[in-house]
Structures are given as structure tokens and as C-alpha cells.
Amino acid sequence: MTETDKSQPYYSYSRYLTEHYGGPLHRVPIDLGFGCPNRDFDGTGGCTFCPADGARARQTIHADSIEDQVREAIEFARRRYGAKRFIAYIQAFTGTFAQASEQRRTYEQILGLFPFEAVSIGTRPDCLPTSTLDFLEELNQRLEVWVELGVQTSHDRTLERINRGHDWGSSEQAILALHQRGIKVIAHVILGLPGETASDFNATAERLAKLPIDGIKVHNLHVISGTQLAQEYQQQPFPLLHEFDYCDHLIEFLRRIPAHIPMVRVQTDTPDVELVGPQWSMDKGQFLDTLIQHMRWRRYQQGDLVGDAKETVIENEAVKTEDGSITFWSSYFKEHYHTTVGARSEAENKYLSPSAIEERLANTDVRLLDVCFGLGYNTIAACKLAEKLESGHLHVVALEIDRGAVGDAAALTEDPFAKQILTALYQDAKYHGEKFSIKIIWGDARHTIEKLTTGPSFDFIYHDAFSTQKSSELWTVDFFRKEHSVLSKRGKLLTYCASLPARAGMIEAGFHVGNTPAFGRTRCGTIATIDKTDIELPLETQEVETIRSTTKGIPFRDPHGTTSNREILRNREQAVTAFKAGQL
């Protein structure tokens, strides 16, 4: 087992296999041809989400006999993964939909084809009669038997809506019956079924956590062409979970599952030609990296809401800046959060003063969007100003991906005012003062800013992301368009950054762009507005021409809102090369 496996914030299946079998077991998917009790004799009907092939494995789709399926699947796994040890996996349709005598004959045939170390059987909660349980208990004496139970959800209204053919009580009874026989149970769950919300997903997790399950498979709903659900979706579309939506819901689901239960799967894939939606731009590896990193940033772990939380450890080391305030060094981005000239001074000189927020607060209420809250200096300085003025009320919405940094800042700051605010935000994601209120939204700002598009617009945006080379995701034309959409007509966006690609992106997004006074370095900061008259220090003519006519003015792009920093930088380099070749 690698250090990466041990440090994952959830109990991965690969780690479980290493701990219990000494190494990986590769699955050999098999279709027994038993069919499904929820389908008609001609194969129609059944669950609305299930395709005609009953989710048969792609690598054996053309193999007819069980022998051919086993041979082709093993050859595929050996060739692609270097696999040496295997588990027989009864994947398609319902693996127990036959008389016990036929099940016995078929499973004996499978076990005679290869020395499998375990067998995993996919089935339904309503397809486990006593005779089948007797057989599985007997088989479990020879090799380890797992039953993968299609639970899908704990809500009867949804089970009826998707024509599942059983209720939640059937799942409970099946889990208990299998457990009493000493047979391990994997619960299969789908997040994002029609009509369900976050509270429904969490309730399913909480109910499963109270039952004796031994593993969980969970994935977001895929609408597959040719299914009843696809017809329904095309006639009347319903919300589907995209990458960051599913990541957020999955994290909350995992937090409610005890830490000793392995997550056999946390995502699925469907061939593009068969997938109606959702259309993701992340591949499986990118999504797993995103899930793990977001859990680490938020300091969440599997089971931390059911008593399995580990002790929180301060991970960031305070770095004293020249004005006496502290900043952190980000080991992920390889940069300090602030200029070492002064974190507190930077907030005043790069954000508060050039935005003239004091003048606005003296006359009216103000809405501030703090993009990349970090250690909170920009927001806290604005809140102190609101308290001092005793006039307008300040409403702050903050976007931050790293909850841990906020928690560490709360622990290490020597400012009582800041400590109280940061502690509340870390614990509850909100704080209310006498003259101000703060709400923080955890997650990737490219996604979380979309939650604000239907609400009131903002008077100011303080954009304080890491540099363009470390966090280009938040310096793209596409992200600036999102910021433009939530800013009021006389609103102002302030940032420390004067990068030409970033400024080019702001201009393309519809902003007027100008300079703000320099602080902590020779280059000035940037102000971007919707109304041109709000620019006091416009860009020099030469800089405008450079942006318009040279490669320095090629902006960063992220049309899907999920592209990695490395890919965005690489794509821009390709655009620069194309420009030089006269192709742009």
C-alpha cells in the first residue's frame, strides 16, 4: 500500500484489497443471462435508468458463452493492467434471478474455469429467497462471497418514480439477512435521481450507515440513450450533476459513512456515444484528484460526521510579514498568500483604498464579493471599516477553496476581532456582526460563483487569487465573464495583478480596465469596471496596443470551467505559437 492510499481522506477499495488480500484483485465481469425480474419476457420495462444490456461490461460485449467472457476479460485485464489475481464479478442484470439449483450449476461452472479468490454478485433486494441465501452461505465457506445490492436510494417515492419494483424496506431486510449469513454486502447508490436533493442524498447515507454493510458503490446519475429515463429527460429535462456539483454532494455523503467501510466505487463511466448526460469535461483520474484535494482543503474525512473524525492539525506555518501581520506559504501553489511586505497593508493599499469602499459605505449599504478569501485580510479590513463608520451595512460573500487555511488563520492570528470571525467561518461558514455579515462558500470559485448569478449584484469584487502561473483557472476570460455577470452597473473589481493576459481577459469579458497604485512591488494593481467613468487611471496607450496586437495580450481560457492550471497554460502557449505562425 502506498503512502498516497494511506493519506486519502476516504477508505478506497484499493486500500481495502491491499489490507485484506495483500494486493489488488481485478474483476472479471460476467453476464449469466439470468435476466431481471423487473423486466417483461421480451426484455422491455425495468428500471427507467437501466440500458437494454443490463450494464454489461464493454470488454466482453461480443462474447456469448460464459467461458468466452471469462477468457476475454482475464486477457484484457492482464494486457491492460498486468493483472494476476481475480475476482469473479456477476455484473449484468440480476445474478440471483434463477432457481438455486441453476445458480449452483452456473457458479460451479465459473469457479471451474479459473481459481478466483472471491466472487461478487450483483443482484436486487427482492431477489434473495431463502434457497438462494442458503446457497450463498454454503458458497461463502469455499471462497469469499460479496453481494452487490442495488439499493439506489432510501426514498420510496424515488424508487417508485424510477420503476425500481421494490421499496427501501426490501433493501434493509436484504442487508440484514445477508449479514446474518456472514455474507459481505456492498450497497449500490445513485446520487442525482430525479426529484432528489442534497438532503435526500444525505438521508440515504445516514440510513445506510446504521446498517451492517461492508462496502458502498456510489456514482452520479447517468442518463443513457435508449432508456425510459432518456425519453423522459428529452421530453422534460431535469437537473443532472456535473463535476463540481457531484463532488460537493459526494463529499457530504462520504462524511456520513463510517470510516471503516470501503468505497468500492465513487464514479462511473458510460461510452460517449451512449451518454445523453451529464457531459463532463473531466476524466475519471481528474475527478478523483479533484475529490481528494477538495476533501483535504476542506479538512473533511469519510465518517467525520459520525464520530470518526481525526484530530485537526495546523498544517500551515505562519510567516511574519514586514508590517507584523502573518501570511502562509502554500505548499500546493508554491507561493505565499500575500506579499511579504505586509499582508494587512496589502489589503488596505490594493483593495480598500483604490476601491473607495469607505466612501460608498458612508452613504449606503454595500455588497462585497471576496474571491479567494484566504486568511481573510481583505474582508476583515472591510468589516473593521464598517464597524468604524456606523453608517451603511456591509454584506460580504466570500469564495474559498481551502477551508483549512481559514482554520489555521483562526488558530494563529493574534487579532481578537479576526480570530472570532475566522473561527465562526471555519465552523459555520457564516458570521454576523453589528454592521456587517459574512457568508463563505467552500469550493472551486469557478463553480461556486454560479450560485450567485440569480441573487443581488455586488458593488465590489476583491479578486485575490494566486498568480496567473499557479492558478490560471481564476484568471481566464470565462471566469471574468462570471464576475462581470454578478457585478452592479457601477461596480468595481480590484486585484493586485497587472498581468497582460489577465487584463486582456477582463477586456474581452466586457470590463473597462485601469491601474491602481503600486504596493509591495514595482507594478501597479488593476481596477476593472462596467462604467468607463469609474476608471481614474486608464491604461497607457502603449499597453492597450500591446494587448490588442501582440502575444502578450492572448488571454487564458477555460470554456468548460473545469480545465486544470497546467492545461490552461499549455493551451495558451499553443495559442501563442499559432499567433506567431499567423494562424490567429
429 and 283 within one domain = no
Give the Cβ contact number of residue 303 at 10 Å: 22
Q: pLDDT for 237-269, tens place per residue? A: 999 999 999 999 999 999 999 999 999 999 998
Q: Say yes or no: 54 and 155 in one domain.
A: yes
- In the numeric block, which cell numbers belong to residue 89? 464479478
- For the ranges 39-53, 72-86, 146-160, 483-497, the lowest mean pLDDT is seen at 39-53
The pLDDT, as a whole number, for residue 1 is 44
pLDDT digits (tens, 9 = 90+) for 281-304: 999 999 999 999 999 999 999 999
- Same domain for 264 and 408, yes or no, is no
pLDDT reported for residue 3 = 43
Last residue of a domain, one of 298, 325, 349: 298
Task: For residue 189, give the C-alpha cell.
Answer: 447508490
Predicted pLDDT of residue 69:
87
In the chain, what percentage of residues exceed pLDDT 90?
A: 82
- Evaluate if residue 54 carries a pLDDT over 50: no
Residues 361, 259 share a domain:
no
Phi then psi dihedrals of residue 8, to 5 deg: -60, 140
List pLDDT tens digits, range 543-572.
Answer: 999 999 999 999 999 999 999 999 999 999
Confidence of residue 59 (pLDDT cuts 50, 70, 90): low
What mean pLDDT value characterizes the chain? 93
Q: Given a cut of 70, is residue 58 above it in pLDDT?
A: no
CA-to-CA distance for 297 and 305, rounded, in angstroms? 17
Distance CA 485, CA 511 (A): 11
CATH code (residue 474): 3.40.50.150
Q: Is the domain of 233 the same as that of 173?
A: yes
How many CB atoms are closer than 10 A to CB 284? 12
Long-range contacts of 36-45 (CB under 8 A, 24+ apart): 36/93, 36/94, 36/97, 36/124, 37/94, 37/97, 37/124, 37/126, 37/127, 37/165, 38/124, 38/163, 38/164, 38/165, 45/163
| Residue 211 and residue 84 share a domain | yes
List Cβ neighbours of 147 (8 Å cut-off, separation of 6 or more). Answer: 120, 121, 123, 128, 136, 178, 183, 184, 185, 186
Question: For position 91, what pLDDT does the model report?
Answer: 82
Q: How many domains does the chain have?
A: 2
Residue 226 has pLDDT above 50, yes or no: yes
On whether both 274 and 417 belong to a single domain, the answer is no
Considering the domain architecture, whether residues 287 and 374 belong to the same structural domain is answered as no
Q: Which of 307, 337, 297 is nearest to 321 (CA)?
A: 337
Residue 348 belongs to what domain range? 339-577
**Residue 268 sits in the same domain as residue 346:** no
**What is the rounded average pLDDT of the residues 59-84?**
83
Q: Which of 273, 298, 323 is the last residue of a domain?
A: 298
The reported pLDDT for the residue numbered 5 is: 56
pLDDT at residue 51, as a whole number: 79
More confident residue, 214 or 92: 214
Mean pLDDT of 100-105: 88
What angle in degrees, to the nearest 10, is found between the helix axes of 130-139 and 168-180? 40
